[in-house]
Chains A and B, each alone.
Chain A
Amino acid sequence: MSKHHLGEFEEIVMLTVAILADEAYGISIIEEMENRLDRKVSIGALQTVLRRLEKKGYLSSRFGEATKVRGGKRKRYFMLTAYGKKVLTEVKEQRLSLWNAIPQFSTSY
């Protein structure tokens, strides 16, 4: 097992952050995941994972501008760090190598 272990939910969150590029903050990530994966996600579940990933150094964050909606509270935008991108790529390659090793699937693929 690689030293960069990613949980399934962590991987999905990181991918979604990558998809949303500059627009990845709490609510938009949840909405994107709901749309694409048809999966209910609570703010609590998401936020804990985001903070954990940030602590691990896979994500970084910055505050946006304050607006009149959201009670005047600023958004926190997340983005992948270079390290995060590397880990994500590694995970993808590991998966692919596993897929490629399956004999039956590979013929039909």
Chain B
Amino acid sequence: MPHKKYPLPPRWVSKFFQWYCHPDYYEDIEGDLLERFESGLEEHGLKNARWNYIKDVVRLFRPGIIRSLEISSRINHYSMFKNYLKVGYRNILKHKGFSLINVTGLAIGIACCIIIMLYVQNELSYDRYHKNYNQTYRVLQTFRSAADPGSLPPPAPEEFQVWGCAPIGPALQADFPEIKSFFRFTSPVNLLFQYQNKKFQEDNMVFADSTAFKVFSWRLISGREETALTKPNSIVLTQNVAAKYFGKNDPLGKTITIDQTKSFVVTGVMEDVPHNSHFTFDGLISMTTAHNWRTEIFDWWGYVDFYTYFLVDEQANIAALAQRIPDFVKRHLPGWQDNTIAFEPLSDAYLYSVAARQPGAMGSLSNIYMFSSIAVFILIIACINFMNLSTARSMERAKEIGIRKSIGAHRHSLVVQFLLESILLSTISAILAVALVSIALPWVQELSAKTLDLSSLLSWKSVIAFMGGVFLIGLLAGSYPAWILAQVRSAQVLKGTFKSSSKGAALRKSLVIFQLSLSIALIAGTAIVFSQLDFIRSRDLGFTKEQMLVIDFGWDSGVQEQLNIIKAEFLRHPDVHSIAASRAVPGNFLPDAGTRIESPEGAMIMQSPGIYEIEPDFVPTYDMQMIAGRSFSANIPKDSTETLLLNEAAMRLYGYTDPSEIVGKKFSQWGRNGIVVGVVKDFNYKSLHTKVEPLALRFAPVGALRHLSLQVSPENITKTIA
């Protein structure tokens, strides 16, 4: 027995026992345990003995045996921590000014970070609330035409557009069994809604397929998801709009009069479309309504007014689906060699899409990267600031360190002390930062035009991440001062010969330089952004926008009939210089129209420029310049149906370089045939972010007018409005 090497009980169990056992009792109880283990080994074998050993150790884990806290060595640390915190707290109070600068500096840095994080998180959260987020795709289409069909190269991603035709949805579902359902909606229609005496122009209502609630996860408050949008003339309103007409009454089943002639029945009320959706609307009108109004467009592959989204089943492979697109196009559109379609996931819709004609405003990926890096920079600056202020003050703390060292403080415990102090400061800063953010949030929302909510960061994950971040900032900001201060030699301090080291000063100086250059970079960046915004505001748009008053009468037929009388009435006012009616005004939404114009070679080319429908007064009222030909004239009767104006971009689109050449060429557009009579200098009718796109100006037909533009004297503009 003595010389044989015996197996031992599990090591980790022994360690555990040693860890918790009262040190005074450890030796003999461990001896008893081993004795039992050894005898058990002989009688019952190793496995049994081990098991009994574990059982005994577990049963020994009770109050009489466990080492008591009072004499544990951990308690010493605890009281030291208490001391550190107390000294830290007193230091903060002793140097109020210093602490204030330090804490507020860090707090502002953290607050900026939180706000930027809120913004970024909001941008990244778009459309994610949809249950089928990862299975929803949308159809992109191209609408190109070439003089020589089939000669165009495959379209670039930018040439696709989201806005497409109606028949593609049903055709896709018929050809691709993987597509569970599709959902189409139109661009917003403008309708005058009336319920009893409440009358509003609604311009964000869309026609939508009955599959709306199957494909997207909008919540219906009342009404049935399956049937709400099946019958013609039914409408689902958002909560906000419903409240506008019906107040607290139940809108379900009520009738709304549309444009004073038709009527819709409310078949559902839905929660407002979440602000983080890549398109929004105020209400859904059943697609069958549109079908009744204009049945023919549902078979026209060239009529563009629909956004098509579809849902695939879980096993579907979108890449495999996309490979079958050429077949699909060939089967349905044999004549369209130059055009095709593409699928785009819903997850790309807000940030990654490059397609034209989006159904709503897009986010900017580069903004997200830019803001995130700014957040990091700000935090680094705040940390460096904090470090410098702390180290600069090291002289004052030197005496304390000297004394602590001479009574036996280890270097590492001094480091711990200073780290703890800076974590204390960073925690105070973090609390202050949260307060700052909640105060500043309303302004930030106004600035960013986003609904940002602090509660979106209130999940346990982000709270832990935030606390971890604060802790890390404390460590980071405290690391350098702690390291420098812990190096102080006690003998020097106590003899009074302590000088701050030159090495520390050099590092401090370089940190200041780094910090300043970061700040300058940020300020320069801000200046550039500001000048860009200034450019947008002050750049010559190609038309007079100053002192322009725009009245939106929303196709009110009463106004349209009396238009000439109204215009004459306005012109009698001394400050109104001129007045013009049109369907859209610069900056507005406008449709595209397929337009054929004779090319320089004599062939009729089909293109789709945007259109403005205007009255003859429009061009002079906006001070637009004719660079060739003439404008519309009210005195030439033929102008109203047989003439067309183009802008420079449209002229180039049809292959002309000299504006005078295109004047007199034949055109056909939307049922009108005639000649191009003039070319307008390009004006920025959409946005300065895009280049000026081709535009055709056509004489407005009766009933197509919506806006009145008045050019008035700037001096008493407010008086004129009154």
Contact = CB atoms under 8 A, between A and B. Distances in A.
Contacts of A45: 59
Given A27-B36, A51-B65, A69-B38, A44 B28 contact: no
B31 A70 contact: yes
A25 B30 CA distance: 13
A51 B25 contact: yes
19 contacts: A25-B32, A26-B28, A26-B29, A27-B35, A42-B55, A43-B60, A44-B59, A44-B61, A44-B65, A47-B25, A51-B64, A51-B65, A63-B27, A69-B35, A71-B8, A71-B31, A71-B34, A73-B30, A74-B27
A52 B25 CA distance: 12
Contacts of A27: 32, 35-36
Nearest 8 CB-CB pairings of A with B:
A73-B31, A44-B59, A76-B28, A48-B64, A26-B32, A44-B60, A70-B31, A71-B34
B56 interface: yes
B258 interface: no
B33 interface: yes
B60 A70 contact: no
Given A47-B25, A51-B65, A52-B64, A73 B56 contact: no
A47 B31 contact: no
A75 interface: yes
For B27, B34, B36, B56, the residue with the greatest tally of chain A CB atoms inside 10 Å of its CB is: B27
B2 interface: yes
A3 interface: no
Contacts of B65: 44, 47-48, 51
B28 A25 contact: yes
A48 B62 contact: yes
A44 B54 CA distance: 12
Contacts of B1: 69
Interface residues of B, number: 25
Contacts of A26: 28-29, 31-32, 35
A68 interface: yes
Contacts of B55: 42
Contact of A47 (B35, B36, B60): B60
For A26, A52, A73, the residue with the greatest tally of chain B CB atoms inside 10 Å of its CB is: A73
B205 to A, nearest CB: 77
A12 B58 CA distance: 24
Interface in B1-43: 1-2, 8, 25, 27-36, 38
B231 to A, nearest CB: 77
B2 A68 contact: yes
Contacts of A73: 27-28, 30-31, 34
Given A43-B33, A48-B65, A74 B60 contact: no
A2 B123 CA distance: 77
Contacts of A74: 27-28, 31
Contact of A43 (B2, B8, B29, B64): B29
Interface residues of A, number: 21
A51 B25 CA distance: 9
Nearest to B31: A73
B88 to A, nearest CB: 41
Contacts of A43: 29, 32-33, 36, 56, 59-60
Interface string A38-60: 00001111011101100000000
Contacts of A70: 31-32, 34-35, 38
B28 A75 contact: yes
Contacts of A51: 25, 64-65
Nearest to A48: B64
Contacts of B64: 47-49, 51-52
B16 to A, nearest CB: 14
A71 B36 CA distance: 11
A57 B64 CA distance: 15
A48 B56 CA distance: 13
Contacts of A48: 62-65
B426 to A, nearest CB: 46
Interface in A2-57: 25-27, 42-45, 47-49, 51-52
A47 B38 CA distance: 19
Given A69-B35, A69-B38, A70-B35, A47 B29 contact: yes
B56 to A, nearest CB: 5
Nearest to B63: A48
B61 to A, nearest CB: 7
B35 to A, nearest CB: 5
For A42, A48, A71, the residue with the greatest tally of chain B CB atoms inside 10 Å of its CB is: A71
Interface string B524-563: 0000000000000000000000000000000000000000
A5 B213 CA distance: 77
A71 B14 CA distance: 12
A71 B38 CA distance: 10
Contact of B56 (A44, A63, A76): A44
Contacts of A68: 2
A71 B63 CA distance: 26
Nearest to B36: A27
For B1, B34, B58, the residue with the greatest tally of chain A CB atoms inside 10 Å of its CB is: B34
A76 B62 CA distance: 20
Contacts of B25: 47, 51
Interface in A48-107: 48-49, 51-52, 63, 68-71, 73-76
